Amino acid sequence: MTEFTKTPEAKDTGASGAVSDAVTGNWVDRLAPEWTRPYLRLSRADRPIGTWLLLLPCWWSVLLASLHDGQFGLFDLWIIGGCGIGAVLMRGAGCTWNDITDRDFDGRVERTRSRPIPSGQVSVRQALVWMALQALIAFGVLLTFNITAIALGIGSLVLVAIYPSAKRFTWWPQVFLGLAFNWGALLAWTAHTGSLGWPAVLLYAGGISWTLFYDTIYAHQDKEDDALIGVKSTARLFADKTNIWLRFFMVVSVALLAASVVSAMLPDANVLALTMALCGVWAFGWHLAWQMRKLDADNPDVCLRLFRSNRDAGLIPALFLAVSLFI
């Protein structure tokens, strides 16, 4: 790997080079060898919430596919683990690509100017090499799945490539993020069953609505800077109507997840297992409603904290689906 260098246009970010919105005392800043830290920060290893949000629709999907056909075996454990590895790597590659394309914008936004490229910790060339390495390893994991799942995985690269530019041409860049981040719902279902099915499509759509919910909250952190530099987002679009839109996305997410569970498990469902799975969807909706009650869209710290809480929200249906498998 290319060694850590500081480019001529670098800005001083302090001795540690820590990113401003990373969790204080994260493992990258404390434990990682110093020369690896800029690359790990590019991959957001110091901010793992995005990896969880990419991974959780995969877990929902493989568990729901197993409930659909009543089969759960060793290969499904590999799908769960392989999706975990792939989520770390592809989220890292995607974030690296995002930082390459956004490097000029990031340098003009308070929250992002400490990132490795605008702060000069990593050059664009170094970032490109790092992105390619992550993507190649992830492709090796993808090759362990069936041919249809492989094709779906390759197809997702189009969305990954488009997303960083979406904020330049649409007020709805969160839609493109949702399309990319929930692709695993289609891929994991196909890895288990060998083909796509309507439950996976419904799950995918529900995940997109969930992404619109949590990433609108996230985008409220930057709305003032975004307005100054001309970057679009649903946070700016919705403005003082944000709560109305968030309630809409919450209802749509819960309804589509419930429809996915019902369509996957009927007509031959174990009633107790179906009830358990639907309870997980209800509890997921309760968590989103709790976020709504706590939201202060003008407080960046609250927005970031609620955004991060969506890891727990997404783990709830995964846990209930897993329990349903053993009923």
pLDDT by residue (tens digit) across 105-160?
776 777 777 788 888 888 999 999 999 999 999 999 999 999 999 999 999 999 98
Residue 64 has pLDDT above 70, yes or no: yes
Long-range contacts of 195-198 (CB under 8 A, 24+ apart): 195/148, 196/148, 197/65, 197/68, 197/264, 198/263
218-237 mean pLDDT: 89
282-311 mean pLDDT: 96
DSSP H or E segment with residue 251: helix 242-265
Give 16's contacts (C-beta < 8 A, 6+ positions apart).
Answer: 29
Long-range contacts of 229-237 (CB under 8 A, 24+ apart): 229/105, 229/108, 229/109, 231/105, 231/167, 231/168, 232/167, 232/168, 232/169, 232/170, 232/171, 232/173, 233/167, 233/171, 233/173, 233/174, 234/171, 234/172, 234/173, 234/174, 235/297, 236/171, 237/171, 237/172
Amino acid at 117: I
pLDDT class of 3 with cuts at 50, 70, 90: very low
247-272 mean pLDDT: 95
Mean pLDDT of the chain: 90
Residue 216: the pLDDT is 97
What distance in Å separates the CA atoms of residue 131 and residue 122, rounded to the nearest whole number? 12
CA atoms 231, 237, 240, 241: torsion sign:
negative
Residue 228: the pLDDT is 81
Residue 98: the pLDDT is 85
Residue 21: the pLDDT is 67
CB-based contact 79:57 (threshold 8 Å): no
pLDDT class of 1 with cuts at 50, 70, 90: very low
What distance in Å separates the CA atoms of residue 61 and residue 190, rounded to the nearest whole number? 9
191-210 mean pLDDT: 97
Residue 13: the pLDDT is 41
Backbone φ, ψ for residue 196 (5° rounding): -75, 155
DSSP H or E segment with residue 37: helix 37-42
CB-based contact 314:52 (threshold 8 Å): yes
CB-based contact 235:325 (threshold 8 Å): no
Residue 101 has pLDDT above 90, yes or no: no
Domains plus CATH for the chain? 33-324 (1.10.357.140)
Q: Who wins on pLDDT, 325 or 23?
A: 325
73-93 mean pLDDT: 96
179-185 mean pLDDT: 96
Encode 197-221 in three state secondary structure: CHHHHHHHHHHHHHHHHHHHHHHHH
**CB neighbours of residue 224 within 10 Å:** 13
Residue 81 has pLDDT above 50, yes or no: yes
Residue 268: the pLDDT is 85
Residue 145: the pLDDT is 97
Residue 316: the pLDDT is 98
CB-based contact 89:141 (threshold 8 Å): yes
CB-based contact 121:17 (threshold 8 Å): yes
pLDDT class of 7 with cuts at 50, 70, 90: very low
Q: In angstroms, how far is the first alpha carbon of the chain from the final one?
A: 49
pLDDT class of 9 with cuts at 50, 70, 90: very low
CB-based contact 204:186 (threshold 8 Å): yes
Q: Who wins on pLDDT, 272 or 168?
A: 272
Tokens of 150: 């492989």
